[in-house]
Chain A
Amino acid sequence: MDWSDSPEQAAFRQQVKDFIQKELPERYRSGDESEELSGGWQADRKSDNAEARNSAIAWADSLAKKGWIAPAWPKEYGGAGLSTIEQFIYNQEMAEVAAPMPGGMGVSMLGPTLIVHGTDEQKAEHLPKILSGEVAWAQGYSEPGAGSDLASLQTRAVRDGDEYVINGQKIWTSGGHLADWLFALVRTDPEAPKHRGISFVMMDIKSQGLSLRPLINMGWKHHFNETFFEDVRIPVKNRIGEENRGWYVGMTLLDFERSGIAGAISYKRGQDQIKQFLDTAEGKAFKRVDANMVRLELADRAIETEVLFNFAFRIVSIQNRGMVPNYEASVNKMFGSEVHQRLARSETKLWGLYGNVWDPKSKYAPMGAQHVQDYVGSVPHTIFSGSSEIQRNVIATRGLGLPRG
C-alpha cells in the first residue's frame, strides 16, 4: 500500500503541471468553477466575447497538440493512449486547477463507442471533429417514461429504404442547446424483449423535425433540454453497430480510468477556500456566532472527503493492476454524490440567514452565494447517471451476490 507516486508517476505528474503552468489561458486560472467559466468551455467556444472565444480555442489547441483532448483514446485515433494511472494523474492535475475539459460527451461517450463499433467511414468522419472541437455532442438516452428503467425507452425509428424515420421524445438532454450532433438510443424492434430492440444512432442536431425545448432547472439554470423528434429522417449509415444491438453498443467502455477523482478534489478545494475566507474580516462577519455545531459537521465532511479520495484511489489501483472494478465504481458514485449534498448543506449552514442569498453579486452573499447555489445544484447528483437507489441495488446484487427482487 502506497499513497505516494512512483518515480515514473511523479515524472508524468510534473509534465502535466508544467503544461498547465505554461498553456492554461488566463481566463481559466481563477480556479473558479462557476458556470460561466470552466463548465462553459462549450459556451465560450461560441461566445460573442472574443476573449472567451480565443481562450477556448487556444486551450483546446494546446491540449490537442499533446493528444490530451482525449488522453485515454489510442494514439492511432488521435488520443494520447495514456495508461489508466496516467489518465488518473492527468485528471487529478486538471481538477486541481479546475481546468476546463473541452472533450465533453464526444470524448467520454461517443468516441469510445465509435472506436469499438464504428465503421472506418464513421470514424474518419466524426473522430477528428471531436478532437478539433469542431463538433460538440449531446446524448439522447432518457425519456419521460424511461429513467432508471432506461431499456423501456419508446422513441421509434422505422426503416424506410436507406433512412430511419424517428418519432418520439428524449429528456434531460444536457447541453443540447450548445451541441452540434446528438447520439441516441431508439427502438427499432418494438416486438423484441426490451433490451434487444434498441439501436444506437447519430444525427445532426439541426435535422429537419428535431426540436429542442429548454428545461429550466430548480436553480433557474438552462442546462437540460427536452428533445422532440417528428419524422426526423437520418441515413441508415448513421447507425453504430448492428440493428437492435444498440443497448450493448451503448454499454461500450474503453479503458478509461473510472475513479471520479475530480469530485473529491473539488470538494477539498471548496473546504480550503472556506477556511481562507473565514480568516478574512469579511468571512468573520458572515460566520454565524453559534457555529460550534457546524464546525464539527465540517470536520465530518472533511473526513468523508478523505474517504472519497481513498475510494477513487482504490478504483485506479484496481485498474492499474489490470482488473476491472465491479461494485466499487457504484460505491464511488453513490457515496460521492451523497457527500456532495451533505457538504453543500453544512457549508450553507455556516452562514445562517445569509444562506438565503442567491444573487452571487449581492454584498450580502458570502463567497458569491456558491454554497446555497450548490445546495440546490447538488440535488440531481444522487439522481442522474444511476440514482443512489439504483447504485445500491447494483452493489447488493452485482457486488454482494444478493438475489434480485
Chain B
Amino acid sequence: MDLGLSEQQELLKNAAREFLENECPEQHVRDMEEDDKGYSPVLWQQMAEQGWQGLLIPEEHGGAGFDFLDLSVLLEEFGRALVPGPFMSTVLGGAVPIMEIGSDAQKAEFLPKIASGDLIFTLALTEPSARFDESGVQAKATVSGNEVSFTGTKLFVPDANVADYMIVAGRSGKGVTLGIVATAQPGVKVTQLQTIARDKQCEVVLDGAKGQLLGAEGAGWAALQPVLQKYTVAECAYLVGLSQMDFEIAVDYAKERVQFGRPIGSFQAIQHKCADMVTDVDGSRFIMYKAAWAISSGQPAKDTSIAVNMAKAWCSEATRRVVAHGQQIHGGIGFTKDYKIQLFFRRQKRAELAFGDADFHRELVAQQLGL
C-alpha cells in the first residue's frame, strides 16, 4: 500500500508541468475562449510529439502503452493548466472506445492516427434529455452489415466543431448501438453552443449520417461502461488539478493582499477557508486516484463501479467548494474578467456537470450500498 507516485509518474508529471507552463500559459487559455476552433493545431502537434494523445494506446498501434493511472497523472496537470481543446474528447471519447470495443481493423485504422495527432475524435452520447443513463440514448440507429446510420439530435457534444470523427450512440431495434461517424458528410450538422466555460460544446443534428458499426448491434450500452468510467475519472483528474491551482493562487493572494495593515491570510476567517480548501483538494485527489487505480489494476467490477461513482460525487462538490472559496478570498478583483481566478471557477462547473454531477453519482452510490 502506497499513495505516492511511481518514479515514472513523477517524471511524467514534471515533464507535463514544465511543458504546459511554457506552451499553455494563461494568455493561451484566454485566446482559445474567443477562438472559433477552441484549440491550437500547433500545440496539438507538440502534444502528440510528447506522446500524450497516444499515452494509453499500445505500442503496436503507435502509442506509448502507459496505463490509465498514468493518464490520470497527466490529466491532473491538464486541469492545473486549464488546457483548452479536444484532448479528452479524442483520448477518452475516441481512442478508449476503439481500444475497448473496436475490431482489429478499426484499431489499426484509427489508433496510430490518434497517437500521431492526425485525428480528432469526440463522443456523441447525450441528447436533449440530458441524461447519462441508457434511456437517454434515443437517436435512431439503422444497421446494414458493418455500416450504421444515425438520425437524431446529440447535444453537449464536446469539440464536435473540430472533430474528424464521432463515436455516436444510437438505438436500433436491438438496443444501443455504436458507430464511428465522420463529421464531414451531409448528414451531420454541427452548431456550437455558448457555454459557461467557453469551451466548444455542440448540438449535432444527424440525418442519416453514415459510419462504421463499432462493436455488435444492440451491445453498445454494456460496451460503453468501461469508457464512461474512464471518462468520468478523467474529469475528476482534471478537477483535481484545476482545484489545486485555484487553491494555490488563493493562498498566494492571501499572503500578499494587505488590509487593516496586515496580510489577509493572517486572519483566521481566511486561514480556515484555506484549510478547508486543502482538505477538499487532497480528498479529491486520493478518491480520484483510488478509482483510477481500481480501473487500472482490474479490481472487481462492483468495487470499481462504486469507486468511480464516489469519486465523481465527491470531486464535483468538493472542487466547487474550493473555487467558491477561491473567489471569496480574492474579493472584488476575483470577479473581474482580467484576473485569472475566474477562469478556474467557470471551468469547474463544466467538469462538475460532465458525466453526472454529485446528485447523479450519489444516487448510484446509495443504490450500490443497498440503501
Contacts and interface: CB of A to CB of B under 8 A. Distances in A.
Given A4-B1, A302-B365, A320-B2, A404 B282 contact: no
A68 B297 CA distance: 34
A402 B1 contact: no
B267 A405 contact: yes
Interface in A154-202: none
A283 B183 CA distance: 56
Contacts of A275: 369-371
B271 A402 contact: yes
Nearest to A317: B3
Given A299-B371, A306-B290, A402-B274, A2 B366 contact: no
A310 B369 contact: no
Given A1-B2, A2-B1, A391-B275, A310 B267 contact: no
Interface in B256-300: 262-263, 265-268, 270-272, 274-276, 278-279, 282-283, 286-287, 289-290, 292-294, 297
B255 A401 contact: yes
A392 B272 CA distance: 5
B279 A313 contact: no
Nearest to A274: B371
Contact of A1 (B4, B267, B314, B366): B4
A307 interface: yes
Contacts of A328: 282
Given A306-B310, A331-B278, A296 B251 contact: no
Contact of B287 (A279, A295, A307): A307
Contacts of B270: 402
Contacts of A313: 1, 3, 286
A172 to B, nearest CB: 24
Interface residues of B, number: 45
A1 B293 contact: yes
Interface in A196-216: none
Interface in B1-20: 1-6, 9
Contacts of B81: none
B268 A303 contact: no
Given A1-B5, A314-B3, A402 B251 contact: yes
B268 A1 contact: no
A1 B266 contact: no
A397 to B, nearest CB: 7
A7 interface: no
Nearest to B286: A310
A318 B251 CA distance: 24
A242 interface: no
B363 interface: yes
Interface size of A as a range: 35 or more
B3 A310 contact: yes
B3 A395 contact: no
B313 interface: yes
A318 B1 CA distance: 11
A303 to B, nearest CB: 5
A300 interface: yes
Interface string A299-330: 11011101100110110111011000001100
A393 B2 CA distance: 28
A6 interface: yes
B88 interface: no
A4 B266 contact: no
A4 B293 CA distance: 10
A296 B362 contact: yes
Given A405-B267, A405-B268, A6 B286 contact: no
A6 B370 CA distance: 31
B69 interface: yes
B169 interface: no
Contacts of B293: 1-3
A303 B255 contact: no
B351 interface: no
Given A1-B6, A303-B365, A311-B282, A85 B1 contact: yes
Query: Binding site of B, secondary structure by majority: helix, strand, loop or mixed?
Result: helix
A24 to B, nearest CB: 24
A306 B293 CA distance: 14
Most chain B C-beta atoms within 10 Å of own C-beta, residue among A85, A307, A311: A307
A400 interface: yes
Interface string A1-25: 1111110010000000000000000
Nearest to B265: A402
Contact of A403 (B3, B9, B265, B362): B265
Given A334-B279, A405-B268, A306 B366 contact: no
A5 B274 CA distance: 34
A162 B1 CA distance: 52
Nearest to B282: A331
B271 A311 contact: no
A249 interface: no
A303 B310 CA distance: 6
A400 B271 CA distance: 9
A389 interface: yes
B254 interface: yes
B291 to A, nearest CB: 10
Most chain B C-beta atoms within 10 Å of own C-beta, residue among A316, A399, A400: A400
A303 B362 contact: yes
A285 interface: no
B159 to A, nearest CB: 29
A392 B325 CA distance: 15
Contacts of B283: 307, 310-311, 335
A317 B2 CA distance: 5
Given A296-B362, A320-B2, A404-B266, A1 B275 contact: no
Contacts of B275: 331, 334, 391-393, 395-396, 399-400
Nearest to B292: A1
Contacts of B255: 401-403
Nearest to B72: A1
A151 interface: no
Interface string A274-307: 0100110000000000000001101110111011
11 contacts: A3-B290, A5-B1, A6-B1, A303-B310, A303-B365, A307-B314, A320-B2, A327-B278, A397-B271, A403-B266, A404-B266
Interface of A: 1-6, 9, 85, 271, 275, 278-279, 295-296, 298-300, 302-304, 306-307, 310-311, 313-314, 316-318, 320-321, 327-328, 331, 334-335, 389, 391-393, 395-397, 399-405
Considering the complex of A and B, which 7 residue pairs feature the smallest CB-CB distances, nearest first? A396-B271, A310-B286, A392-B275, A395-B275, A299-B366, A402-B265, A317-B3
Given A4-B1, A303-B314, A402-B266, 11 more contacts: A2-B2, A279-B370, A295-B366, A299-B371, A306-B310, A307-B287, A313-B286, A396-B275, A401-B251, A402-B265, A403-B266
